[in-house]
Amino acid sequence: MSGTTAVKAALQAQRIETPSWGFGNSGTRFKVFAQQGVPRDPFEKLADAAQVHAATGVAPTVSLHIPWDKVDDYAALAAHAADVGVRIGMINSNTFQDDAYRLGSVAHPDAAVRRRAVDHLLECVDIMDATGSDSLKLWFADGTNYPGQDDIAARQDRLAEALARVYDRLGEGQRMVLEYKLFEPAFYTTDVPDWGTAYAHCLKLGPKAKVVVDTGHHAPGTNIEFIVAILLREGRLGAFDFNSRFYADDDLMVGAADPFQLFRILHAVRAGGGFDPAAGVAFMLDQCHNIEPKIPAMIRSVLNVQEATAKALLVDADALRTAQLAGDVLGANAVLMDAYNTDVRPLLAELREEMGLDPNPVAAYQAGGYAEKIVAERVGGTQAGWGA
């Protein structure tokens, strides 16, 4: 295989998962701007996600968030997904929006609240069974706001106990991925604030527990590619939640704030063998589009990941190794920058034509008439998440 053929094959094999909540209305705590034509239920969210897949050819799965995507019949939801041309991806749990969780969920000091949270997580595994999803994504808003509010280590014990209960419930071919976040909504301590804490819990649980790297969940200046390299080396990188980070957890289009960082992260993925499907790394978007139209923004995000992936795949690995081993600092850096500075859009356009797709997915979507159709048909779309 020529170099270009191999790069195209890897790009065609990459899968980028879209989040159901990214298709609903979204905003900040100051204002949610309603848009016309947004989905009114999970079925319509899947239909919108199918548009992203139809335009890009690489987004065949959709993450659900429970209870935002609660339905009576999950098998029917999975069947609908298949009908419109997608599949159910990860099941995201939600232990942060009930009044009961004021002091936390699985790390709450009251055993009754912890039980309620664990019951929800077990219900999410039932939903995995019903939809054919293979992954449970766990993010906990648990933490404290004030020094002395609770015992830091005791909260870790409670968290570990809950995780073990859910881990034991996982069936054949199912796994859990644990997401960390530095702060928010808790401001003093967060119970899973960083990759080290997530990794320590996963290590104790067993091989079906992996870490999720949400690119918006770090302190400014954190070297995310280093984290990626370490987790891949340990076989514990489960997934990415991609989004941009201008200031904190912005959840805007991936690659918008810092496309070079996205390239560096994906270069670390490639260097660690993370593009090999056997590595089991899921590439997901975790975004909410506040002011821009949802479906084209999601398509743009998929393209941003693809473009950064293409650049990472174009890094001349042999030349890089030679320069590294020779201690050629500038030469090694130049190999990386040559790949980053390559315009990969013609290559991706060519690949899409080979896949029978329009070379310009955003334009193809806009010309297709779907946006006008949903504006005409849908009245009263739902909010992405909080308050839905």
**Nearest distance in Å: CB 93, Mn ion:** 12
> What is the rounded distance in angstroms from the CA atom of residue 211 to the CA atom of residue 198?
6
Instruction: Note whether 214 binds Mn ion by CB under 5 A.
Output: yes
**Nearest distance in Å: CB 99, ligand LRH:** 19
Instruction: Note whether 241 binds Mn ion by CB under 5 A.
Output: yes
**Nearest distance in Å: CB 181, Mn ion:** 6
Instruction: Note whether 167 binds ligand LRH by CB under 6 A.
Output: no
- Chosen from ligand LRH, Mn ion, none, partner binding at 307 (C-beta under 5 to 8 Å by type): none
**Nearest distance in Å: CB 193, ligand LRH:** 12
Q: Which one, 44 or 286, has the nearer CB to ligand LRH? A: 286
Angle between helical axes of 317-325 and 329-340 (0-180°, round to 10): 160
Q: Which DSSP symbol is given to 38?
A: -
Exposed, middle or buried, 164 (CB in 10 Å: 0-12/13-18/19+)? middle
Question: Which position among 191, 225, 250, 286 is part of the footprint of ligand LRH (CB under 6 A)?
Answer: 286
Q: What does the per-residue mask of binding to ligand LRH show for 229-268, with x meaning CB under 6 A? A: ------------x-------x-------------------
**Nearest distance in Å: CB 384, ligand LRH:** 8
Residues 211 and 231 sit within 8 Å (Cβ to Cβ): yes
Q: Which one, 95 or 309, has the nearer CB to ligand LRH? A: 95
Q: Mapping DSSP to helix (H, G, I), strand (E, B) and coil, where does residue 87 land? A: strand
**Nearest distance in Å: CB 148, Mn ion:** 27
> What is the rounded distance in angstroms from the CA atom of residue 53 to the CA atom of residue 21?
16
Instruction: Note whether 179 binds ligand LRH by CB under 6 A.
Output: yes
- Chosen from ligand LRH, Mn ion, none, partner binding at 92 (C-beta under 5 to 8 Å by type): ligand LRH
Strands (DSSP E) found in 147-223: 175-179, 189-190, 209-214
Instruction: Note whether 17 binds Mn ion by CB under 5 A.
Output: no
Q: Which one, 131 or 313, has the nearer CB to ligand LRH? A: 131
Residue nearest to ligand LRH (CB): 139
Torsion of CA 9, 54, 91, 19, to 10 degrees: 100
Q: Which one, 142 or 249, has the nearer CB to Mn ion? A: 249
Using CB under 6 A, count the residues that bind ligand LRH.
Answer: 9
Tell me the C-alpha to C-alpha distance, in Å, between residue 354 and each of 51, 289, 357.
19, 31, 7
**Nearest distance in Å: CB 135, ligand LRH:** 13
| Near Mn ion in 281-320, by CB under 5 A | 286
Instruction: Note whether 191 binds ligand LRH by CB under 6 A.
Output: no
Q: Which one, 19 or 272, has the nearer CB to ligand LRH? A: 19
Q: Which one, 139 or 275, has the nearer CB to ligand LRH? A: 139
> What is the rounded distance in angstroms from the CA atom of residue 24 to the CA atom of residue 381?
7
Q: What is the largest CA-CA distance in the chain?
A: 64
Tell me the C-alpha to C-alpha distance, in Å, between residue 78 and each of 24, 148, 286, 375, 388.
19, 46, 21, 25, 21
For residue 133, give the nearest of 173, 84, 179, 180 by alpha carbon: 173
Exposed, middle or buried, 348 (CB in 10 Å: 0-12/13-18/19+)? buried
Nearest 5°: the CA angle 114, 118, 124 is 150
Using CB under 5 A, count the residues that bind Mn ion.
Answer: 4
| Near Mn ion in 249-288, by CB under 5 A | 249, 286
Instruction: Note whether 56 binds ligand LRH by CB under 6 A.
Output: no
Tell me the C-alpha to C-alpha distance, in Å, between residue 182 and each of 106, 140, 264, 377.
18, 11, 21, 41
Question: Which position among 101, 139, 199, 240 is part of the footprint of ligand LRH (CB under 6 A)?
Answer: 139
Tell me the C-alpha to C-alpha distance, in Å, between residue 195 and each of 29, 90, 226.
27, 20, 11
Exposed, middle or buried, 62 (CB in 10 Å: 0-12/13-18/19+)? buried
List of residues contacting Mn ion (CB under 5 A): 214, 241, 249, 286
List of residues contacting ligand LRH (CB under 6 A): 92, 139, 179, 181, 214, 241, 249, 286, 385
